[in-house]
Structure 1
Amino acid sequence: MLLIISSIFLILFFLIKWYSNSTKTTNSPPSPPKFPIIGNLHQLGLFPHRTFQSLAKEYGPLMQIHLGSVPVLLISSPEAASEIMKTHDRVFANRPQTKLYDILLYDCKDVSTAEYGEYWRQIRSICVLHLLSAKRVQSLRAIREEEIGLMMEKIKHSSSISLPVDISELLSTTINDIVCRVALGRKYEGESRKGFKKLLMDFTELLGTFVVGDYVPWLDWLTNVSGFYSRAKKVAKKLDDLLEDVVEDHITRQKEGNDGLDSEDFGDFVDVLLWIQRTESLGFPIDRTVIKALLLDMFSAGTDTISTLLEWAMTELLKHPNIMKKLQEEAKSVAGDRTNITEDDLGNMKYLQAVIKETLRLHPPIPLLVPRENRQDIKLKGYHIKAGTRVIINAWAIARDPTYWDQPEEFKPERFLNNSIDIKGNDFELIPFGAGRRGCPGIVYAMAANELVLANLVHQFKWELPDGVAGLEALDMSETFGLTMHRKTPLLAVATLN
């Protein structure tokens, strides 16, 4: 027995020694101790953004961990983030390619996960020039205002019968309807809406799932046995069938109508993409798969991130009634006797913009951004970073760093009233949309909905928690971590007309 135990310890000793030597790099960034095989996987916890923040306090804002066999560079300061997304942006412009991305995102043919190169540049130009430009977003103004008007009517109905409003559900439904109409040219009602939302929820849940085979490849069989990949393939097939129907419907309608319309006359993203395909106006062809991949990007990324931000904004306003009151006073001063806030009013609502910025600071919808990967070996701050290292930028931790933010845990929109920091990727203290080449191209698209929804919610209604002061004291601020960072429990509030 003693011989067996001794042999086990000897094997473990040499295994640890081998693993340490095999992953050791000359002048590599500081790193916490790791186990054989799993590396630092055991340290992730339920909330990796918080875990990584704690590790950064001990090992520095540019540190390295190993998730299984994958080296991961953790970035937790504006300076380090600037090195990745500005100074060496081209080197770190790649995305990790995973089996799950291939299943759910048409073999990474979408703009968010496509490998850096000519294909990615071409499809991103489609998004920037034809789908998400300021001119295109402005042309879809009527859809946003109409859907927000319908949302107001639902709140009025709940108010008239003294029922609390499920703000989380209401925002999710409204943003879903807006994005579906903008991207697909239709929205889904009744059971179809429930089915569509469930499908989208399954999709985002799968994308945010940690897959052990990505980090310990020889354990990927466990993912197969669990049925995870089978479930992902079923969801992908349902989404593909839905998008195929949408595209076919648009093709039929265009054949029945006037084929000579200019792209500026089209009402939704499908029309634009079919026009680009038909005319090859960008100088390169796009096929049906590319069209569906881009549409999937538009409504999957747009729906969840926008509704999540608004959910947290309303949470903070309910938690801070004095801030809610200041925002309501601004809305009244801008709108006067009018019931609705329009998009023409938003430019004059500086406090509204500050509230949204502060919400993005404390509650970035994607706290760890979308991972990057370097395409070649590089020296970074004196450290050697091997090609193929995965890079995780902790936007959540950066925005709560007391070195750059006074009272960082407090919700204080006033900090942005006389502050030039923006959210477009120019100021690395606040990067909820990322920055550089792989920054989110949909900022204008997202902010148009964020500002208009929030402005009308506070202008038309007074809000309070169902249990008044007791409810305020017990307001649950718990979060769930996945692809996006939602509230753990639905947000309920009582609305009365202003």
Structure 2
Amino acid sequence: MSLFLCFLCLLPLILIFLNIFKSSKWKLPPGPKTLPIIGNLHQRRELHPRHRRNLSDKYGPVVLLQYGFVPVVVISSKEAAEEVLKIHDLECCSRPETAGTRAAFYNFKDVGFAPYGEEWRVMRKLSVVELFSLKKLQSFRSIREEENDLCVKKLSEFATRRSPVNLEKTLFTLIGNIVCRIGFGINLYECDFVDEDRIVDLVHKSDEVIGDSLFSDFFPGRIGRLIDRISGQNKRLNNLFSELDTFFQNILDHHLKPGRERSYIIDVMIDMMKKQEKDGDAFKFTTDHLKGMISDIFLAGVGASAATAVWAMTELIRNPKVMKKVQDEIRTTLGDKKERITEEDLNQLHYFKLMVREVFRLHPSAPLLLPRETLSHVKIQGYDIPAKTQIIINAYAIARDPKLWENPDEFNPDRFLDSSIDYKGLNFELIPFGSGRRICPGMTMGIMLVELALLNLLYFFDWGLREMDEANKIVTGNEDVLNFVQVLHH
């Protein structure tokens, strides 16, 4: 009897499996051999950016993998990426649904991970026109400059004592407080429910929730969800997310307090919710939309920007000749007697901007971009890609392709001296923010945060590793994290 029940439970999976692997007249992309039921799940590690050449070298720039019952196409060339992001942008512009992204973005009530449709278009328009337009961002210039001034003041105390500084924590605190003040109306130094020490931890928890894979992500349906519950995966995900949800709810509750600092982004959305209630609009903003947008801003605004700035300082300390060239330009152009840096100073610098471009090339904050999902059948590089296929674009591999870049793994801003290649979505060999209709709407804000932070660090201080013991160096973790370094007044 028990064997019969097991067979009944597995029957839908078996039927789906047979349907997926039946012979097809389509010309599907090449890929590694699959195992029954699990497909290529055992080879997921090969997709990691560090192993970027394993698949493309063997199978080409368009590779088909089968993760359980989910077909996944990996794109690893400039030409294939352009077909996906430009020529077939509309057909490839949706997002796959996973348990982690569903939780982190409140059933996809956000911009980044929402499936393509009317709701996404409304949220995208809100973010582009009302939240992240250049005019709106410029209105908060004083907050960005003020927080950088405070960071310089704190680092000066370390420099005076010739003490080491945890630069990762410094940058996450700096960028975290700018984003929290502009976006959420909270100051980390005064807030009673979150402080600077917890920002890095919350960002990492966000990454973990989004990246967490459940059985149901690869074997959809009731059986997959049942196994998630039985195995405890669902409970683990909920426990991870509960801390983030508490943080986001505290942000909303903070807005009920009298005399609070005005939050531009949340207040704009709340005002729009009230207006819609009054006008009787068909589309209704909800609390989940607010939390979904908060989650987007927190993860991309804080996590991605701070990680990029950390990588920039890591590469500069690894490459002192490049750092000297950048600092010489900054200090010669701006003079050595400035008391504070402003965003106008950024417009005077050329090589500094090339250095930032090189950082985005080597270390995109989302090495595989955000996954896409096809809305209909398309052809990419002559291969048939069916509807409901996940597409992963390996921006990391493309930006280090030896066919496109000389000495691709070398940190060398000089490569852009006579190049018009930029990172804003029009040159497909360099797409750290994506491209097309799903390009990151907060790109301009992220660039502002990274550039101003780096300019302050490089203008006011000289940097180097401590010369004491083995622990005082650039430590290697998942992504090579810059830890304790020496900071001195220049």
Same fold (TM over 0.5): yes
* Aligned residues: CA RMSD: 2.8
| Partner SS for 1:22 | coil
**Other-structure match for 1:296:** 295
Alpha-carbon separation, structure 2, partners of 1:180 and 1:432: 23
| Partner SS for 1:93 | coil
Alpha-carbon separation, structure 2, partners of 1:204 and 1:470: 30
1:382 paired with 2:376, answer: no
Q: Which letter maps to 2:229?
A: N
Q: Which letter maps to 1:334?
A: T
Alpha-carbon separation, structure 2, partners of 1:18 and 1:237: 38
Render the CA deviation track for 1:239-264: whole Å, top value 9, x for unaligned: 344333433443564xx89xxxxxxx
Q: CA deviation at 1:222?
A: 5.0
* 1:340 and 1:460 in contact (8 A); partners too: no
Q: Which letter maps to 2:267?
A: D
Render the CA deviation track for 1:467-486: whole Å, top value 9, x for unaligned: 289999x745x452xxxxx4
**Other-structure match for 2:149:** 149
Change in CA separation of 1:249 and 1:169 when aligned onto 2, cut-off 3 Å: closer
Q: CA deviation at 1:426?
A: 0.5
Q: CA deviation at 1:445?
A: 0.4
Q: CA deviation at 1:438?
A: 0.9
Alpha-carbon separation, structure 2, partners of 1:81 and 1:125: 25
**Other-structure match for 1:202:** 205
Alpha-carbon separation, structure 1, partners of 2:482 and 2:280: 44
- Counting only pairs closer than 5 Å after superposition, residues 179-190 of structure 1 correspond to structure 2 as 179-189=179-189
Q: CA deviation at 1:25?
A: 5.7
Alpha-carbon separation, structure 2, partners of 1:443 and 1:125: 15
Please, which moves more after superposition, 383-392 or 209-218? 209-218
Please, which moves more after superposition, 85-94 or 325-334? 325-334
Please, which moves more after superposition, 164-173 or 426-435? 164-173
1:45 paired with 2:48, answer: no
1:277 paired with 2:273, answer: yes
Q: CA deviation at 1:192?
A: 2.8
- Counting only pairs closer than 5 Å after superposition, residues 131-170 of structure 1 correspond to structure 2 as 131-170=131-170
**Other-structure match for 1:422:** 422
Alpha-carbon separation, structure 2, partners of 1:307 and 1:399: 20
Q: CA deviation at 1:219?
A: 5.5
1:239 paired with 2:244, answer: yes
**Other-structure match for 1:91:** 91
Render the CA deviation track for 1:304-335: whole Å, top value 9, x for unaligned: 10111111100110011111111111111232
**Other-structure match for 1:105:** 105
1:118 paired with 2:121, answer: no
* 1:151 and 1:174 in contact (8 A); partners too: yes
Alpha-carbon separation, structure 1, partners of 2:435 and 2:89: 9
Alpha-carbon separation, structure 2, partners of 1:22 and 1:170: 55
**Other-structure match for 2:6:** none
**Other-structure match for 1:495:** 487
Q: CA deviation at 1:383?
A: 1.7
**Other-structure match for 2:314:** 315
| Partner SS for 2:234 | helix
Alpha-carbon separation, structure 2, partners of 1:287 and 1:230: 26
Render the CA deviation track for 1:283-302: whole Å, top value 9, x for unaligned: 65422221221122112221
| Partner SS for 1:116 | coil
| Partner SS for 2:455 | helix
- Counting only pairs closer than 5 Å after superposition, residues 253-264 of structure 1 correspond to structure 2 as 253=258
**Other-structure match for 1:327:** 326
1:216 paired with 2:219, answer: yes
Render the CA deviation track for 1:354-386: whole Å, top value 9, x for unaligned: 111101111111100000000112233322211
**Other-structure match for 1:192:** 194
Q: Which letter maps to 1:492?
A: F
TM-score, normalised by the number of residues in structure 2: 0.88
* 1:61 and 1:77 in contact (8 A); partners too: yes
* 2:214 and 2:233 in contact (8 A); partners too: no
TM-score, normalised by the number of residues in structure 1: 0.87
Q: Which letter maps to 1:146?
A: E
**Other-structure match for 2:62:** 62
**Other-structure match for 1:287:** 286
Alpha-carbon separation, structure 2, partners of 1:47 and 1:394: 9
**Other-structure match for 2:232:** 227
**Other-structure match for 2:11:** none
Alpha-carbon separation, structure 2, partners of 1:157 and 1:226: 51
* 1:72 and 1:390 in contact (8 A); partners too: yes
Render the CA deviation track for 1:6-35: whole Å, top value 9, x for unaligned: xxxxxxxx99x9699437562111112121
| Partner SS for 2:384 | strand
**Other-structure match for 2:264:** 268
Change in CA separation of 1:424 and 1:213 when aligned onto 2, cut-off 3 Å: same
Q: Which letter maps to 2:362?
A: L
Q: Which letter maps to 2:217?
A: D
**Other-structure match for 1:250:** 255
* 1:93 and 1:374 in contact (8 A); partners too: yes
**Other-structure match for 1:30:** 30
Identity across matched positions, percent:
36
Alpha-carbon separation, structure 2, partners of 1:234 and 1:196: 18
Alpha-carbon separation, structure 2, partners of 1:210 and 1:381: 30
Please, which moves more after superposition, 171-180 or 85-94? 171-180
* 2:215 and 2:228 in contact (8 A); partners too: yes
The answer for unaligned runs of 5 or more in structure 2 is: 1-13
The answer for unaligned runs of 5 or more in structure 1 is: 1-13, 258-264, 481-485
Alpha-carbon separation, structure 1, partners of 2:183 and 2:67: 37
**Other-structure match for 2:438:** 438
Q: How many residues are aligned here?
A: 467
Q: CA deviation at 1:215?
A: 1.4
* 1:331 and 1:341 in contact (8 A); partners too: no
Q: CA deviation at 1:37?
A: 1.7
Q: CA deviation at 1:197?
A: 4.5
1:372 paired with 2:364, answer: no
Q: CA deviation at 1:490?
A: 4.2
Alpha-carbon separation, structure 2, partners of 1:282 and 1:432: 40
Change in CA separation of 1:432 and 1:492 when aligned onto 2, cut-off 3 Å: same
Alpha-carbon separation, structure 2, partners of 1:321 and 1:282: 60
Render the CA deviation track for 1:204-236: whole Å, top value 9, x for unaligned: 222122334311345655543453422432444
Alpha-carbon separation, structure 1, partners of 2:38 and 2:313: 40
Q: CA deviation at 1:139?
A: 0.9
Alpha-carbon separation, structure 1, partners of 2:470 and 2:239: 45
Alpha-carbon separation, structure 2, partners of 1:138 and 1:25: 54
